[in-house]
Structure 1
Amino acid sequence: MARILAVDDDPDVLVVLRLLFDASEHELLCVGDGRAGLRLLHQTRPHLFLLDLGLAAAPGMDGWDVLERVRDIADLPVLLFSEHGGVADKVRGLRGGADDVLTKPFAAIELLARVEALLRRAGAGAGEGTVVYDDGEVRVDPRTRLVAVGGRELELTGTEFRLLNVLVRNAGAALTLSDLLASVWDDPTGIAPDRVKFAVLRLRRKLGWSGNGSPLSAVRGVGYRYRPRGVNRARPVTSS
Structure 2
Amino acid sequence: MTRILAIEDEPDIALALRMLFERGGYGFELATNGRVGLRTVHDVRPDLVVLDVGLPEMDGWTVLERVRDFADVPILMLTAHGEESEKVRGLRGGADDYLTKPFNNNELLARVEALLRRARATGRTADRIGSGVYDDGVVRIDRRIRQVEVEGRPVDLTRTEFRLLNVLVQHAGAVLSPSQLLEQVWDDPTGIAPERVKFAVLRLRRKLGWASDASPIAAVRGVGYRYRPPA
For normalisation by structure 1, the TM-score amounts to 0.82
Equivalent residue for 2:65?
68
Please give the secondary structure, in 2, of the residue aligned with 1:172.
coil
C-alpha spacing 1:173/1:44, structure 2 compared with 1 (3 Å): same
Per-residue displacement from partner, 1:66-87 (whole Å, max 9, x unpaired)?
2233234544333322332222
State, as a whole percentage, how many aligned pairs show the same letter: 57
Give SS of 1:224's match: strand
The aligned counterpart of 2:182 is 181
Deviation at 1:117, TM superposition (A): 1.4
2:96 is the counterpart of 1:99: yes
- Residue 22 of structure 1 and its aligned partner are, at CA, apart by 3.5
Q: Which residue of 2 aligns with 1:139?
A: 140
1:35 corresponds to:
35
What displacement does 1:115 show?
Answer: 3.0
Question: Does the Cα contact within 8 Å between 1:80 and 1:100 map onto a contact in 2?
Answer: yes
**Count of residue pairs the alignment pairs up:** 227
SS at match of 1:212: helix
Other structure's SS at 2:190 match = coil
List alignment gaps of at least 5 residues for structure 1.
231-240
2-structure distance, mates of 1:153, 1:11: 43
* Partner residue, 2:223: 222
- The aligned counterpart of 1:207 is 208
Matched with 2:198 is: 197
Q: What does 1:33-182 correspond to in 2, within 5 Å?
A: 33-55=33-55, 57=56, 60-104=57-101, 105-106=103-104, 107=107, 108-122=109-123, 124-125=125-126, 128-182=129-183
Mapped partners of 2:26, 2:36: distance in 1: 21
Q: Alpha-carbon deviations, 1:199-224, whole Å to 9, x = none?
A: 11111122122153421111222111
Provide the rounded CA distance (Å) in 1 between the counterparts of 2:96 and 2:215. 24
Unpaired runs of 5+ residues, structure 2, are: none
Deviations 1:97-136 (A, max 9, x none): 3233333414022332123213432464366321322222
- Judge conservation of contact 1:128–1:143 (CA < 8 Å) in 2: no
The aligned residue for residue 21 of structure 1 is: 21
Which is further off, 81-90 or 101-110? Answer: 101-110
* Equivalent residue, structure 2, for 1:233: none
Match of 1:168, as an amino acid? V
Which one is further off, 88-97 or 60-69?
60-69
1 CA distance for matches of 2:215 and 2:66?
28
TM-score under structure 2 length normalisation:
0.85
Q: Which has the higher helix share?
A: 2
**Whole-Å separation in 2 of the counterparts to 1:26 and 1:48:** 10
Cα 1:188/1:205, change in 2 over 3 Å? same
CA positional deviation for 1:168: 0.8
